[in-house]
Amino acid sequence: MNTPVSQTARPSTRAALLGGAFSITLPVFFGYIAIGIPFGLMLVNAGYPWWLSPIMSMLMYAGAGQYVAVGLFAARVPLPAMVLAMLMVNIRHIVYGLSLMERFKTVGRWKPYLIFSLTDETYALLTGITPPPSVAPGPFYGTIALLNQLYWITGSLIGALAGAIIPFSFNGVDFALTALFVVLLMDQLRRGGNGIPALIGGSCSIVALILVGPGNMLIASLAGAIAVLSLLRGVRQ
Protein backbone atom coordinates (compact mmCIF):
# COMPACT_ATOMS: atom_id res chain seq x y z
CA MET A 1 0.00 0.00 0.00
CA ASN A 2 2.90 2.35 0.71
CA THR A 3 4.59 1.92 -2.68
CA PRO A 4 1.92 3.53 -4.89
CA VAL A 5 1.67 6.50 -2.53
CA SER A 6 5.43 6.97 -2.61
CA GLN A 7 5.55 6.66 -6.38
CA THR A 8 2.84 9.27 -6.90
CA ALA A 9 4.29 11.58 -4.28
CA ARG A 10 7.69 11.82 -5.96
CA PRO A 11 6.47 13.26 -9.29
CA SER A 12 4.15 15.56 -7.38
CA THR A 13 7.03 16.81 -5.24
CA ARG A 14 9.25 17.27 -8.29
CA ALA A 15 6.52 19.14 -10.13
CA ALA A 16 5.97 21.39 -7.12
CA LEU A 17 9.73 21.96 -6.85
CA LEU A 18 10.09 22.84 -10.53
CA GLY A 19 6.97 25.02 -10.54
CA GLY A 20 8.05 26.89 -7.42
CA ALA A 21 11.58 27.42 -8.71
CA PHE A 22 10.28 28.63 -12.07
CA SER A 23 7.98 31.20 -10.48
CA ILE A 24 10.85 32.47 -8.33
CA THR A 25 13.25 32.70 -11.28
CA LEU A 26 10.76 34.26 -13.71
CA PRO A 27 12.29 37.77 -13.41
CA VAL A 28 15.70 36.28 -14.16
CA PHE A 29 14.22 34.46 -17.16
CA PHE A 30 13.19 37.72 -18.80
CA GLY A 31 16.43 39.42 -17.76
CA TYR A 32 18.75 36.66 -18.94
CA ILE A 33 16.98 36.32 -22.27
CA ALA A 34 17.24 40.11 -22.69
CA ILE A 35 20.98 40.26 -21.92
CA GLY A 36 21.88 36.84 -23.31
CA ILE A 37 20.70 37.82 -26.78
CA PRO A 38 23.04 40.87 -26.98
CA PHE A 39 25.93 38.70 -25.82
CA GLY A 40 25.32 36.22 -28.62
CA LEU A 41 25.00 39.06 -31.11
CA MET A 42 28.25 40.67 -29.95
CA LEU A 43 30.14 37.40 -30.11
CA VAL A 44 29.07 36.71 -33.69
CA ASN A 45 29.69 40.34 -34.66
CA ALA A 46 33.26 39.98 -33.34
CA GLY A 47 33.84 37.24 -35.91
CA TYR A 48 33.34 34.10 -33.84
CA PRO A 49 31.10 31.13 -34.79
CA TRP A 50 27.58 31.03 -33.35
CA TRP A 51 28.16 27.72 -31.53
CA LEU A 52 30.82 29.29 -29.32
CA SER A 53 28.11 31.32 -27.56
CA PRO A 54 26.20 28.42 -25.93
CA ILE A 55 29.47 26.61 -25.16
CA MET A 56 30.80 29.65 -23.28
CA SER A 57 27.49 29.95 -21.44
CA MET A 58 27.66 26.29 -20.40
CA LEU A 59 31.32 26.11 -19.37
CA MET A 60 32.15 29.70 -18.38
CA TYR A 61 28.77 31.11 -17.29
CA ALA A 62 30.06 34.46 -16.11
CA GLY A 63 27.55 37.01 -17.41
CA ALA A 64 29.46 40.27 -17.31
CA GLY A 65 32.69 38.30 -17.60
CA GLN A 66 31.56 36.86 -20.93
CA TYR A 67 30.86 40.36 -22.25
CA VAL A 68 34.35 41.41 -21.17
CA ALA A 69 35.85 38.27 -22.71
CA VAL A 70 34.45 39.14 -26.15
CA GLY A 71 36.29 42.48 -26.10
CA LEU A 72 39.48 40.86 -24.82
CA PHE A 73 39.35 38.18 -27.50
CA ALA A 74 38.82 40.80 -30.21
CA ALA A 75 41.74 42.88 -28.90
CA ARG A 76 43.98 39.77 -28.77
CA VAL A 77 44.87 40.45 -25.15
CA PRO A 78 47.54 38.04 -23.77
CA LEU A 79 46.17 35.15 -21.72
CA PRO A 80 47.70 36.25 -18.35
CA ALA A 81 46.17 39.72 -18.71
CA MET A 82 42.86 38.18 -19.71
CA VAL A 83 42.83 35.92 -16.64
CA LEU A 84 43.62 38.89 -14.38
CA ALA A 85 40.87 41.00 -15.94
CA MET A 86 38.32 38.20 -15.54
CA LEU A 87 39.37 37.74 -11.92
CA MET A 88 38.82 41.42 -11.21
CA VAL A 89 35.42 41.41 -12.89
CA ASN A 90 34.25 38.39 -10.91
CA ILE A 91 36.11 38.91 -7.64
CA ARG A 92 32.85 39.85 -5.92
CA HIS A 93 31.85 36.18 -6.14
CA ILE A 94 34.37 35.44 -3.38
CA VAL A 95 32.30 37.60 -1.06
CA TYR A 96 29.13 35.90 -2.29
CA GLY A 97 30.55 32.47 -1.55
CA LEU A 98 31.74 33.40 1.93
CA SER A 99 28.30 34.70 2.88
CA LEU A 100 26.67 31.44 1.72
CA MET A 101 29.03 28.98 3.41
CA GLU A 102 26.62 28.23 6.24
CA ARG A 103 23.66 27.82 3.90
CA PHE A 104 25.55 25.51 1.54
CA LYS A 105 26.39 23.06 4.34
CA THR A 106 22.97 21.45 3.89
CA VAL A 107 22.81 21.21 0.09
CA GLY A 108 24.57 17.85 -0.29
CA ARG A 109 25.64 16.82 -3.78
CA TRP A 110 24.37 20.09 -5.25
CA LYS A 111 27.22 22.02 -3.60
CA PRO A 112 29.80 21.86 -6.47
CA TYR A 113 27.26 23.01 -9.03
CA LEU A 114 25.92 25.77 -6.76
CA ILE A 115 29.46 27.08 -6.32
CA PHE A 116 30.01 27.04 -10.10
CA SER A 117 26.66 28.64 -10.96
CA LEU A 118 26.70 31.44 -8.35
CA THR A 119 25.94 34.55 -10.40
CA ASP A 120 24.74 37.94 -9.17
CA GLU A 121 21.13 37.10 -9.97
CA THR A 122 21.26 33.62 -8.43
CA TYR A 123 22.87 35.06 -5.30
CA ALA A 124 20.14 37.68 -5.04
CA LEU A 125 17.49 34.96 -5.19
CA LEU A 126 19.19 32.52 -2.80
CA THR A 127 19.67 35.16 -0.13
CA GLY A 128 16.08 36.37 -0.34
CA ILE A 129 14.13 33.10 -0.14
CA THR A 130 13.69 30.09 2.15
CA PRO A 131 13.03 26.54 0.92
CA PRO A 132 9.48 25.27 1.52
CA PRO A 133 9.20 22.83 4.46
CA SER A 134 8.46 19.91 2.11
CA VAL A 135 11.55 20.47 -0.09
CA ALA A 136 15.19 19.81 0.77
CA PRO A 137 17.50 22.85 0.48
CA GLY A 138 19.86 21.20 -2.03
CA PRO A 139 17.32 20.40 -4.77
CA PHE A 140 15.53 23.70 -4.16
CA TYR A 141 18.60 25.92 -4.50
CA GLY A 142 20.06 23.71 -7.23
CA THR A 143 16.93 23.87 -9.38
CA ILE A 144 16.90 27.66 -9.12
CA ALA A 145 20.55 27.86 -10.18
CA LEU A 146 20.06 25.35 -13.00
CA LEU A 147 17.03 27.17 -14.41
CA ASN A 148 18.95 30.45 -14.35
CA GLN A 149 21.82 28.94 -16.33
CA LEU A 150 19.40 27.41 -18.84
CA TYR A 151 17.84 30.86 -19.34
CA TRP A 152 21.28 32.33 -19.99
CA ILE A 153 22.26 29.58 -22.43
CA THR A 154 18.96 30.02 -24.28
CA GLY A 155 19.34 33.79 -24.57
CA SER A 156 22.93 33.61 -25.78
CA LEU A 157 22.03 30.90 -28.30
CA ILE A 158 19.11 32.93 -29.69
CA GLY A 159 21.35 35.99 -30.03
CA ALA A 160 24.13 34.06 -31.73
CA LEU A 161 21.78 32.44 -34.23
CA ALA A 162 20.09 35.77 -34.93
CA GLY A 163 23.45 37.46 -35.40
CA ALA A 164 24.54 34.80 -37.86
CA ILE A 165 21.37 35.14 -39.93
CA ILE A 166 20.02 38.69 -39.53
CA PRO A 167 21.94 42.02 -39.93
CA PHE A 168 21.71 43.89 -36.62
CA SER A 169 22.65 47.28 -35.15
CA PHE A 170 24.53 47.01 -31.85
CA ASN A 171 23.87 50.52 -30.57
CA GLY A 172 22.90 50.38 -26.89
CA VAL A 173 22.79 46.59 -26.47
CA ASP A 174 25.58 46.66 -23.87
CA PHE A 175 23.25 48.50 -21.45
CA ALA A 176 21.12 45.36 -21.02
CA LEU A 177 23.32 44.00 -18.21
CA THR A 178 23.11 47.25 -16.24
CA ALA A 179 19.34 47.32 -16.66
CA LEU A 180 19.04 43.79 -15.23
CA PHE A 181 21.08 44.72 -12.14
CA VAL A 182 18.81 47.71 -11.51
CA VAL A 183 15.68 45.56 -11.81
CA LEU A 184 17.08 42.93 -9.42
CA LEU A 185 18.02 45.60 -6.89
CA MET A 186 14.54 47.11 -7.01
CA ASP A 187 12.97 43.66 -6.60
CA GLN A 188 15.19 42.88 -3.61
CA LEU A 189 14.30 46.21 -1.97
CA ARG A 190 10.63 45.55 -2.63
CA ARG A 191 10.95 42.24 -0.78
CA GLY A 192 12.31 44.09 2.24
CA GLY A 193 16.02 43.64 1.60
CA ASN A 194 18.70 45.87 3.08
CA GLY A 195 19.54 48.70 0.69
CA ILE A 196 22.61 49.96 2.58
CA PRO A 197 25.14 47.69 0.78
CA ALA A 198 23.79 48.83 -2.59
CA LEU A 199 24.02 52.47 -1.51
CA ILE A 200 27.59 51.97 -0.33
CA GLY A 201 28.54 50.17 -3.55
CA GLY A 202 27.02 52.88 -5.72
CA SER A 203 28.70 55.65 -3.73
CA CYS A 204 32.09 53.95 -3.92
CA SER A 205 31.68 53.52 -7.68
CA ILE A 206 30.99 57.23 -8.15
CA VAL A 207 33.95 58.23 -5.96
CA ALA A 208 36.24 55.78 -7.80
CA LEU A 209 35.10 57.11 -11.18
CA ILE A 210 35.95 60.66 -10.11
CA LEU A 211 39.29 59.85 -8.47
CA VAL A 212 40.85 57.23 -10.75
CA GLY A 213 38.78 57.40 -13.95
CA PRO A 214 36.80 54.74 -15.81
CA GLY A 215 39.84 52.65 -16.70
CA ASN A 216 40.71 51.80 -13.09
CA MET A 217 37.43 52.32 -11.26
CA LEU A 218 36.48 48.63 -11.00
CA ILE A 219 39.25 47.60 -8.61
CA ALA A 220 39.05 50.88 -6.67
CA SER A 221 35.27 50.71 -6.22
CA LEU A 222 35.36 47.06 -5.13
CA ALA A 223 38.15 47.72 -2.64
CA GLY A 224 36.33 50.76 -1.27
CA ALA A 225 33.01 48.94 -0.90
CA ILE A 226 34.62 45.97 0.85
CA ALA A 227 36.51 48.28 3.21
CA VAL A 228 33.42 50.31 4.15
CA LEU A 229 31.22 47.23 4.62
CA SER A 230 33.91 45.55 6.75
CA LEU A 231 34.22 48.69 8.85
CA LEU A 232 30.46 48.87 9.39
CA ARG A 233 30.34 45.21 10.34
CA GLY A 234 33.12 45.73 12.85
CA VAL A 235 31.31 48.70 14.39
CA ARG A 236 28.07 46.72 14.75
CA GLN A 237 29.84 43.83 16.43
The more confidently predicted of residues 130 and 193 is 130
The pLDDT of residue 15 is 77
Domain-located, residue 6:
no
Domain total of the chain: 2
The more confidently predicted of residues 230 and 23 is 23
Domain-located, residue 10:
no
3-state SS, residue 47: coil
Whole-prediction pTM value?
0.70
For 151-208, how does the pLDDT look when each residue is reduced to its tens digit (9 = 90+)? Answer: 999 999 999 999 899 876 767 666 766 676 677 678 767 766 677 888 888 898 899 8
Indicate if 68 and 183 belong to the same structural domain.
Answer: yes
105-111 contacts at long range (C-beta below 8 A, 24 or more positions apart): 106/136, 106/137, 106/138, 107/137, 107/138, 107/141, 107/142, 108/136, 108/138, 109/138, 110/138, 110/139, 110/141, 110/142, 111/138
Picking from 193, 211, 227, the residue at the C-terminal end of a domain is 193
Indicate if 148 and 211 belong to the same structural domain.
Answer: no
The pLDDT of residue 176 is 63
Mean pLDDT of the 10-32 span: 83
Indicate if 49 and 127 belong to the same structural domain.
Answer: yes
Indicate if 116 and 229 belong to the same structural domain.
Answer: no
Question: What percentage of the chain carries pLDDT values higher than 90?
Answer: 28
Indicate if 142 and 109 belong to the same structural domain.
Answer: yes
Domain-located, residue 2:
no
| Whole-angstrom distance, CA of residue 77 vs CA of residue 71 | 9
Domain-located, residue 7:
no
The more confidently predicted of residues 115 and 226 is 115
The pLDDT of residue 177 is 61
The pLDDT of residue 180 is 62
Indicate if 186 and 201 belong to the same structural domain.
Answer: no
The pLDDT of residue 6 is 39
Mean pLDDT of the 220-227 span: 81
Domain-located, residue 97:
yes
Indicate if 216 and 184 belong to the same structural domain.
Answer: no
Mean pLDDT of the 232-237 span: 70
> Given pLDDT bands bounded at 50, 70 and 90, which one contains residue 8?
very low
Indicate if 215 and 126 belong to the same structural domain.
Answer: no
Range of the domain at 157: 15-193
Query: Residue 225: is it exposed, middle or buried by C-beta count within 10 angstroms (0-12/13-18/19+)?
Result: buried
Domain-located, residue 171:
yes
Indicate if 205 and 187 belong to the same structural domain.
Answer: no
Indicate if 235 and 186 belong to the same structural domain.
Answer: no
Q: Name the DSSP class of 135.
A: S
Nearest C-alpha neighbor of 228 from the set 82, 84, 95, 57: 95
Domain-located, residue 63:
yes
Indicate if 185 and 200 belong to the same structural domain.
Answer: no
Domain-located, residue 1:
no
The per-type count for the chain, helices as H runs and strands as E runs, is 12, 0
Indicate if 177 and 235 belong to the same structural domain.
Answer: no
